[in-house]
A and B are shown apart, each in its own frame.
Chain A
Amino acid sequence: MAKLLSALIAGLLFGLGLLLSGMSNPAKVLGFLDVSGRWDPSLALVMAGAIAVAFFAFRRAEGQTHSVLGEPMQLPDKSRLTLRLVLGSVLFGIGWGLAGICPGPGLVLAGMALPDGLWFVAAMLLGMLLFRPLSRCLS
């Protein structure tokens, strides 16, 4: 129960951060991505602020085998550079650039019950479902 409550709190803090930062406003995200137009650099500060805090937490986490709540530390591989990684990231970036919405802000917009947010999340989940058969073809 404590583990679930803890994950809920993390999700909530994350969502509040997305709202406060401007990340959940697609027009602001597109303004940040539009480097050659009228560039809004605000969102660079979101990344800087987040890393400034999380850097210390991850340094601590990497030296431990278990979390405070006794769960095994599950940290993914850091060094495997693959074509899949680049191809997937490029596809994700095209989607992000088309709408100005990435997964976290998509959920926050859906939580506001905005039709566009709900459509985006539905399409994203469909993409994730489609991935399984696609992944079989690729390998």
Chain B
Amino acid sequence: MQIAWDSFTPFASLAGGLLIGLAASWLVLMNGRIAGISGMLAGLVDRAGDWPLRLAFVLGLLAAPLVWRGLVGPLPVPQLSTPLPLLLLAGVLVGIGTRLAAGCTSGHGVCGLSRLSPRSLLATLSFMGSAGLTVFVMRHLLGWS
């Protein structure tokens, strides 16, 4: 292993993490809900009874870049390199997988681990492990950058 010091952003990442933790804290204390993004979306797809609340949360996420531009300035530029067919496959796998597991990085990773949930710990280890393995296969075995 080699650390990529040139792209290491400890302060911004920690500050962003604190903000994410604040968001999850806000939602559970104010609304009594887990800030699980895949769960919110799944409830919208299934038109669950509480869909207005889910929609409000999702709209907040969608509006974040707009608000960032208004408050902070130019947006950080995301670097995307996945070819479209793979991107679509990735999206479908994320959709099916997060429903089957009832959670993703936010619901299991942030909220579940904060609750010291064994279920979320198992989920987080499983998705971090398979994601790391996927990157290893793609980059180092198949030679995709």
Residues of A at the B interface (CB closer than 8 Å) are 3-28, 30-31, 33-43, 45-58, 60-62, 66-69, 71-81, 84-104, 106-112, 114, 116, 119-132, 134-135
Would you give 9 A-B contacts (Cβ < 8 Å), ordered by A? A6-B26, A8-B59, A15-B65, A23-B16, A35-B132, A80-B119, A107-B37, A107-B61, A110-B62
Question: How many A-B pairs with Cβ below 8 Å?
Answer: 495
Residues of B within 8 A of A17 (CB): 16-23
Compute how far the CA of A18 lies from the CA of B53 in the bound complex, rounded to whole angstroms. Answer: 20
A54 touches B25 (CB 8 A): yes
Residues of B at the A interface (CB closer than 8 Å) are 1-4, 7-10, 12-35, 37-38, 41-42, 45-46, 52-54, 56-68, 75-82, 84, 86-102, 104-106, 108-120, 122-124, 126-136, 138-140
B7 touches A31 (CB 8 A): yes
Compute how far the CA of A112 lies from the CA of B75 in the bound complex, rounded to whole angstroms. Answer: 9
Q: Per DSSP, are chain B's interface residues mostly helix, strand or loop, or mixed? A: helix
Shortest Cβ distance from residue A114 to the other chain B in the assembled complex, whole angstroms = 7
Residues of B within 8 A of A99 (CB): 80, 82, 86-87, 90-91
Given contacts A49-B17, A85-B122, contact A14 B86 (CB under 8 A): no
Find B78's partner among A21, A25, A75 (CB 8 Å cutoff).
Answer: A25
Compute how far the CA of A96 lies from the CA of B100 in the bound complex, rounded to whole angstroms. Answer: 15
Residues of B within 8 A of A7 (CB): 27, 31, 33, 53-54, 56-57, 60
Compute how far the CA of A72 lies from the CA of B49 in the bound complex, rounded to whole angstroms. Answer: 14
